[in-house]
Amino acid sequence: MSVITVNFSDVINSSAPEDCFRQYVMPTTFKIETLLDGKDLIDSHFSYFEKASEQFALCGIGVNKIFELASGEEISSLHDRVRHALSGTVVRPAQEISTITEPTVLGGFRFNKNTKPDEIWENFGYGHMILPKILLTKRLLNKHSDETITFLTISPEVSSFEAISILTQLQKLEASGCSDNSKLMTVVTTDIDGEAWGSSVKTISKGVRKNQYRKVVLAARKTLTGKFKIASVLGSLRRSYPECFLFCFSIPRDGEGTISFVGATPELLVSLDENIVKSLALAGSIGRGMDRSTDTEKALILTRSHKDIAEHDEVIAEISDRLRAITNSVSVEQTRLRRLNNIQHLSTGITAQAGNESNLLKLVEVLHPTPAVCGAPREIAWGVIGEHEQFDRGWYASPVGWMNARGEGEFAVALRSALVEDGKAWLFAGNGIVAQSKPEVELEEVRLKFKPLSDALVGAQDGR
């Protein structure tokens, strides 16, 4: 693969004031994805969030400021601190362009704010938002164009020299590493004990039938060992699941190297754009068929399944009720079938008008966790999860996303995800357990949900 290099000294004005945000337009030859290969070779914070189907991506390098949560602290407590940090002066690009971008933070939060992170999640803490030293933002030039534009934003107190050095180093590392196709054989070790899983499904399902709770989402974890390259993982996920949210959050280990939380999720938790709030109910799943006939047959089974419809309706009702508490004019769209590469879901969009109390982080706080990833009632489901899951979810099934200086942004639910370090990866997936759940069916479904990350990590793709 040929690499088109950029002389960043030609892009960045070294005489610009350094006490403010400075923005530049990158050359059209520059591709934000080209920095991903270099990312694997540096020990630095790295924050990435992408919607390939909408030609939108954010790539944050380093840490200018980090806004961390403490144990039990509410997500919304970060709002004022983040908005203050993003409120500084912005020196816009010299070129005349039809769109702008704002200074932005990226990050995520822990599934359960009241439990302590275990050893593999300790670097991620209870959650944080990061203002990177350097932020690259790719977006469409306007709503009526397929042309994209990439902005470079340098944070206050980051010198032009440092910014040029970081970007140049990443570009050199990418160029030197692009021809390295070496792989090690990957050994799969599963943490799913079929007997234990079946026992938990039976116990939880029995609790639903006894009206102790309405639903509990039971997650599973398995491990892979081998040589992993995050850029390759993201590339595979982008090709196979372009309609999903792609994310990667890398944090330096206390010793050496980095640990990365990476995934491709179809589930929007909440977005805020101007005054419009959007969320998504995604619950009820079945695999894809081998051909059009069997695929249609499976879709009909899903859309006629009383179990899946009831589970989906529970999520719609809970999200709608929580939004009504802090927003106005909540509207539920028609349920449709959401088809992904290897699985199909029942999917319902929910919209609302932002109210006086509905800043983005407050919306995240109120909606997380939804019944789609936790269960209902929420507090009881949390307790049942703790009894049956013998591992820490960490950031799995939690909000990951971004927020800009206007308070707008987007958070997805971190499904189909893995925690990856140099020689090991921990994969996560889960199912909603209800009264009619059958252990063998649930085991087959959760294994299906492991497939996107498992394929990406071993370098395989569906249909290959």
Catalytic residue ranges: 215, 267
Among residues 439, 395, 456, which one has the least CA distance to residue 260? Answer: 395
In this structure, what DSSP letter does residue 415 have? Answer: -
Going by their DSSP bridges, the two strands 187-190 and 417-421 should be labelled as: unpaired
Distance CA 243, CA 129 (A): 25
Task: Report strand pairing: 215-225 vs 104-109.
Answer: unpaired
Which is nearest to 260 in space by CA: 272, 271, 247?
Answer: 247
Buried (b) or exposed (e) across 25-40, using 16+ Cβ within 10 A?
bbeeebbbbbbbbbbb
The strand pair at 399-404 and 104-109 is best described as antiparallel
Instruction: State the Cα–Cα distance between residues 262 and 191, nearest whole angstrom.
Output: 19
> What residue has token string 């008008």?
353
- Give how far Cα 359 sits from Cα of 220, 262, 315, 389, 397, Å: 33, 26, 22, 33, 21
Phi then psi for 446, rounded to 5 degrees?
A: -70, -35
The alpha carbons of the chain give a radius of gyration, in whole angstroms, of 22
Dist. CA 292–CA 188, nearest whole Å: 31
Tell which residue, 202, 257, 259, 224, has the closest CA to residue 388: 202
CB-based contacts of 180, cutoff 8 Å, min separation 6: none
Residue that has been written with the tokens 């071993």 in this structure: 458
| Cβ(360)–Cβ(270) below 8 Å | yes
CB within 8 A of 237, min separation 6: which ones? 244, 246, 262, 263, 264, 452, 453, 456
Q: Could you tell me if 186 and 11 are in contact, meaning their C-beta atoms sit under 8 angstroms apart?
A: no
Q: Which two tokens stand for residue 460?
A: 């395989």
The neighbouring-strand residues paired with 369 are none
Bridge partners (DSSP) listed for residue 149 = 139
Backbone φ and ψ of 457, nearest 5°: -70, -35
Residue 21 CA to residue 92 CA, distance in Å, equals 8
